[in-house]
Amino acid sequence: MAFEIRFQEADWARIREDYAAWWGHELDRPLVQITGVEPDPAEAYPTVPGFWTNFGDDVSPKEITERVWRQMTARRFYGDAFPHVFVNYGPGIAAGFMGAKVNSVEDTVWFEPEQEIPIDQLTLRYDPDNAWWQHIQDVTRALVERMGSQVQISHTDIGGNLDILASFRTTQQLLLDLYDAPDEVERLVGEITAVWVAYYDVLDGIIRPACPGTSPWAPIWTEGTTYMLQCDFSYMISPSMFERFVLPDLEACCENLSHGFYHLDGPGEIPHLDYLLEMDRLRGVQWIPGDGNPPPDQWPELLGRIIGGGKLSQLYLSAESALEIVRHLGGKGFMFTILDPMSAEEAEAYLKTMARDDVSRN
């Protein structure tokens, strides 16, 4: 039996047109991404672990690619969804590229220093021969060669500057460093930014010549360059520290991207939002409320600040939560990644409801 991706060039042409309009704030509706799965019960679908660090050492990039390909043939794409593969080696895998120890279990990946090094003796450099870096290039290249003309292969989750540095200092020690050795922290995050850009550009050289465009781990897409920038560590620091230690990194990364996005993760990062809204080259903000917090539609003031501040917004949410946002804020400027899987018939009916509610709101 031949297995094929259910997404044709005509579908990609539609994605190119609608996403370009969305980036340009010219699309008068939200982008709505809905997916479903239709496996053939006669066929066994190979497993792909959530974190690819859990592939055994004996699983080659070619075998990883074939497993992913078979899973992709079961996916169905409705609305503004598109075929997207996230090369998932854990958030902040760049720490592994620079020599941190990579720890992996079924549901998480974390990084820690191989040895304790005084902060004034620590340097972080690009190592072209690092085994993790070589492996992820090989996997990305294999994916691109197998399916890049039909499927968008992502950049791996390189990470944020303080998040990466915490992998070498530990979270607790880095919090102390911000007070005890701020100049050294500033030096190191500058080194991380330079290496981050190098990692991004090497992967971009593999991905973009063959794929329709670029995507990060989140399913945002452009024909240019994009990434979901982040600093989860900023949950624990003041706005003034964010301005000194994080903002310059975000600005430098955005200078290297045509469509920079930011991952705003939880209420602890909301105090930094004004800085993000003032960044001219930052195109959008993803809002993740976090475990135990109300869903996205329960944050109308925050979402209104993002959209009213001239930024786009991508959200992971339920079908009903997306409808609530449209009813109260309208849909323009939003990208809704719907978490509820649907059949073709369910997706068609839902999109009609979304369009009707959006028109009635506006």
Q: State the pLDDT at residue 358.
A: 74
How many CB atoms sit inside 10 A of residue 278's CB? 10
Do residues 45 and 70 lie in contact, with contact meaning Cβ atoms separated by under 8 Å? yes
**The two three-digit tokens of residue 27, written as one number:** 């699309």
> Which residues, other chains included, contact 128 with Cβ-Cβ below 8 Å and sequence gap of 6+?
none
What pLDDT is attached to residue 46?
A: 76
Q: Say what the pLDDT of residue 41 is.
A: 56
pLDDT of residue 30: 98
pLDDT of residue 44: 59
Domains and CATH numbers, the chain: 21-38+76-81+259-362 (no CATH), 41-73+83-211 (3.20.20.210)
List phi, psi (to 5°) of 76: -125, 145
Q: How far is CA 196 from CA 25, 156, 157, 250, in A?
A: 29, 12, 11, 11
Q: What is the distance of C-alpha 63 from the center of its chain?
A: 24
Q: Count the alpha carbons within 13 Å of 137 in the hemisphere toward its beta carbon.
A: 18
Q: How many whole angstroms separate alpha carbon 35 and alpha carbon 82? A: 9
Q: How high is the mean pLDDT in each 10-residue block of the chain (362 residues)?
A: 79 97 97 89 73 89 94 94 96 96 89 93 97 97 95 97 97 97 98 98 97 97 98 97 98 98 97 98 97 96 98 98 96 97 96 83 63
Q: Strand 108-112 vs strand 101-105: parallel, antiparallel, or unpaired?
A: antiparallel
φ and ψ at 222, to 5 degrees?
A: -150, 155
Burial 1-13, CB ≥16 within 10 A → b, else e: eeeebebeeebbe
